[in-house]
Structure 1
Amino acid sequence: ASTRTVWIGGQRVQFSVAIGATVAQVAEGLAAAINANLDLVFTAAVDGVTASKVNLTARHKGTAWNGLDIRMGYYQGDVPDDGLTFTITPFTGGAGNPDLVAGMTALGDAQYHHVANPYTDGANLAAVVAEFTDRWSAGQQIEGQVWTAHAGDHAALTTLGNSLNAFPLSIMPTYGSPTPAYEVAAIYCAVAASSIDIDPARPLQTLTLKGMMAPAEKDRFDKLERNLLLWDGISTFTVTSSGLCQIERAITTYQVNDWGLNDQSYLDVETPATLSVLRRTWRARQAQKFPRHKLADDGTNFGVGQAIVTPSILKAENIALARDWEQRGWVENVDAFKAALVVERNADDRCRADHLLQPDLVNQYRKGAALIQFIV
């Protein structure tokens, strides 16, 4: 007698095998255990032709289920020595995904700082990238970042990464993990959002992807493979000695500029995150300090108490704000920022003040190099 464990999409299903059970009885027990778990995305039925075969059918349509992981045992002790042999055929047959175009339109003008996206097919990624790239524009200013995951092997991940070039989008690989890619997308988004909302410039490295099951050691990408993924717009994770998945480096899919030249401007997810908070706090400072002010040239002789702002006043407020950014650890070299700062009235629209800000964003400590010269 034994207790068997099957993992389907990262969820554990246990069933008992009695002494002397026939193969058909084992199959029936497995199917019954799967169907008893209503949270599973599959239903099970013993094959009508071959009683030793259990067919699993997805409750929903779509390609998302094709890459779902199924395995007999994950933890030590999951596979008892009962003499049974199981053969698993990968899931196939899923086609199509929901169309996110209507969903993107329905977002309206509401701002979503972090979005978990479960679909990585070309059409849906194009819709998400188009929407969230436009949200970063000067006309919208409701920017956000999109977090997703993909279960493909190294070649598939490389192909996916090289097909994209969008700084609002970040992709975490899940190859070999029993946890479905759509769940990892939600985990990745939650972990990133919780850190970025506290400090957008602090690197995400070493943060645990809580809930993501680690791939078996043979399925983990080695350092060289992970480095290649980083060159192709795919983020990476490592596995600790205790089996926890941790972010190694979180990057965007942005790789080249408009001329097709390599460009690291938006390589790391912390860069757009920091730029977002700088723009947001700048807008807030303007609204709080000058909500109903009049605009005049420098040197205008207006009376005390007048709600009037001039380019010099605006310039001083920008410098004060930059000092606040510096204190929060978002920017550095404020003196250089001050020297390069330009504020002037627009020549065509006299109700508009144009600001040129060139903040030096704080970087992340990712590499340490040391030369050890020893004496014996």
Structure 2
Amino acid sequence: MASPNISFDNIPSSIRKPGKYFEFNTRLAVRTLPGNLQKVLVLGQKLAAGSQAAMAPVDVFSDDQAATLFGKGSQLHLMVRAAIKANPYLQLTAIAIADPVGNAATGTTTLAGTASGSGVLTLWVGANRVDVAVNSGDTAASVATALAAAVTARADIPVTSVAAAGVITHTCAHKGTLGNDIKLVASSTAPGMTATVVTMSSGTLDPDYTTTLAAVAGAGHHIIVAPLSSQTQLTVLRTHLDFVSGPMEQRGAIGVFGWSGSLATGTTLTGQINSGRITGAWHRGSLRLPCEIAAAYAAVLASEEDPARPLNTLELVGMDVTGIDQRPTRTEQENALYNGLTPLEIGPGDRVQIVRAISTYTKDPQNVADVSLLDITTIRTLDYVRKACRERISLRFPREKLSERTPDKVRSELYDVLLKLEELEIIEAVEDNKNGLLVERDLQDVNRLNAKIPTDVVNGLHVFAGRIDLLL
């Protein structure tokens, strides 16, 4: 160290042998912002037939691979299928857990009468349609047997079915409460024969994903898909997200869940979670399981690498088109958006699309309404700004001494990062806030620098209002 402005890592200052010595410095090579590829993690239950061990994360690239790894028709298989359908280029990791020790949900389809003409008996199990031909003279018992066999033959349907005296009992392939969300809808076009369903219920207990999430805490996933939409499960996810995204771990991530129930129960759930890192897609009346809605929603979120760009109108490919009577009115959508629930709507061409992606955070710790983290893009932008600043400081100052000149050098690098973020319209007003960018030595730790980095995030253009003046 014989120069005030040039330091060497590999050439000592004590050289006496004549020569021309050069070393390579790569610390100044990167002048751009880091990439923002979004890695998605899905959690779910596997079947015993699945080859992948529980609690072992694995990258998944196809529907068929997921069926082999987790069992065809398993919760995790259905989630992977929905995610890849919505975004075929997804960077997807899945981690499975075995069923809990609870009970499997059951439901029934009861057939009555004897067909006086031909027709078709149709049963929907979730979003899966099963048709059975009915001929004149067929009895309820014979058609029920054929229907049960047709359902069980479809390995990707998450139930098994058994017929007895015209009653088909459907049992979820998994134990736990997830089977309670499987919808049954039956209809018959054969004259003289009717079909009545009793909804799936009595599934008990849920897996505890606390240990599962801890096993992947260091993996750095950006979007985590919740397998179940309950306060207990989402609270576990919230705790995990707060930990990995905090200032010590700095692996910013968001959580995603799906909701197909009523507006009232959905907003009650979001109020119980109240997290700026969790977002839930509301698709009322959907035949899809909530975990499938969540997986598709997460895949679409991951498709947008610009953290500040709104997700309005993006399509969730593969989601079912709900009936007219189930589609939220504008008033209901506004209510959802004021209470932390992201509504989906049926757009032109019967495409299921995002209205506005928001977080579940609506109130601060004092129970005061707070819009600071309303849009999910806000926390994603803050995570990216942190990543950009952190990587720049790590690259430029890997072995830096702390002298009186160091704070100015660090501030200069941070200012450059902010300007580049402004160029990409991720943040704004950098010049206006320049005086607020502070880098100073700590008063208690002689080896520490502290920085205050003003970040005015770019907001989404969600509302446009115009007045049309009539001139005669």
**TM-score with structure 2 length normalisation?**
0.73
**In 2, Cα distance between the equivalents of 1:151 and 1:170?**
14
Contact kept? 1:42, 1:56, Cα under 8 Å: yes
* 1:120 aligns to 2:229 (yes or no): yes
Residue 211 of structure 1 aligns to a residue in which SS?
A: coil
Deviation at 1:81, TM superposition (A): 6.3
Q: Partner residue of 1:332?
A: 428
Output one character per residue of 1:178-237: Cα deviation in whole Å (capped at 9) or x when no partner.
111111111011111111xx2110001100011110211111111111211122211111
**In 2, Cα distance between the equivalents of 1:83 and 1:285?**
74
Aligned partner (choices 377, 380, 383) of residue 276 of structure 1: 383
Q: Partner residue of 2:12?
A: none
Contact kept? 1:133, 1:166, Cα under 8 Å: no
Q: Partner residue of 1:357?
A: 453
Contact kept? 1:330, 1:362, Cα under 8 Å: yes
Deviation at 1:250, TM superposition (A): 1.0
Correspondence list, 1:360-371, <5 A: 360-371=456-467
Deviation at 1:109, TM superposition (A): 2.3
Runs of 4+ in 1 over 4 A off after TM superposition: 79-83
Output one character per residue of 1:12-69: Cα deviation in whole Å (capped at 9) or x when no partner.
222221232122222112111101111111111113xxx2221111111111111212
Contact kept? 2:120, 2:131, Cα under 8 Å: yes
**In 1, Cα distance between the equivalents of 2:413 and 2:263?**
50
Aligned partner (choices 261, 264, 269) of residue 371 of structure 2: 264
Aligned partner (choices 306, 314, 317) of residue 207 of structure 1: 314
- Pick 1 or 2: higher relative contact order, CA cutoff 8 A, min separation 6: 2
Q: Partner residue of 2:119?
A: 2
Aligned partner (choices 170, 175, 184) of residue 56 of structure 1: 170
* 1:287 aligns to 2:287 (yes or no): no
Residue 355 of structure 2 aligns to a residue in which SS?
A: strand
Return the letter of the residue paired with 1:185. Answer: A
Residue 192 of structure 1 aligns to a residue in which SS?
A: helix
Contact kept? 1:337, 1:357, Cα under 8 Å: no
Residue 245 of structure 1 aligns to a residue in which SS?
A: strand
Residue 283 of structure 1 aligns to a residue in which SS?
A: helix
Q: Partner residue of 1:301?
A: none
Give the fraction of aligned pairs with identical amino acids, expressed as a percent: 30
Output one character per residue of 1:268-317: Cα deviation in whole Å (capped at 9) or x when no partner.
1000111111101111111111122212103xxxxxxxxxxx11111111
Residue 239 of structure 1 aligns to a residue in which SS?
A: strand
Aligned partner (choices 413, 424, 433) of residue 317 of structure 1: 413
**In 2, Cα distance between the equivalents of 1:5 and 1:117?**
31
* 1:158 aligns to 2:270 (yes or no): no
Contact kept? 2:229, 2:290, Cα under 8 Å: no
* 1:250 aligns to 2:357 (yes or no): yes
**In 1, Cα distance between the equivalents of 2:317 and 2:433?**
39
Output one character per residue of 1:114-169: Cα deviation in whole Å (capped at 9) or x when no partner.
11111122222211111111222211111200011123212211211221211111
* 1:144 aligns to 2:253 (yes or no): yes
**In 2, Cα distance between the equivalents of 1:264 and 1:226?**
17
**TM-score with structure 1 length normalisation?**
0.90
**In 1, Cα distance between the equivalents of 2:351 and 2:185?**
19
RMSD over equivalenced CA pairs, Å: 1.6
Q: Partner residue of 2:343?
A: 236
Residue 66 of structure 1 aligns to a residue in which SS?
A: helix
Gaps of at least 5 residues in structure 1 are 74-78, 299-309
Contact kept? 1:17, 1:29, Cα under 8 Å: no
Correspondence list, 1:55-134, <5 A: 55-72=169-186, 80=189, 82=191, 84-134=193-243
**In 1, Cα distance between the equivalents of 2:344 and 2:282?**
8
Contact kept? 1:341, 1:356, Cα under 8 Å: yes
Return the letter of the residue paired with 1:159. Answer: T
Q: Partner residue of 2:76?
A: none
Return the letter of the residue paired with 2:252. Answer: E
Residue 194 of structure 2 aligns to a residue in which SS?
A: coil
Aligned partner (choices 9, 28, 42) of residue 145 of structure 2: 28
Contact kept? 2:283, 2:344, Cα under 8 Å: no
Contact kept? 2:283, 2:345, Cα under 8 Å: no
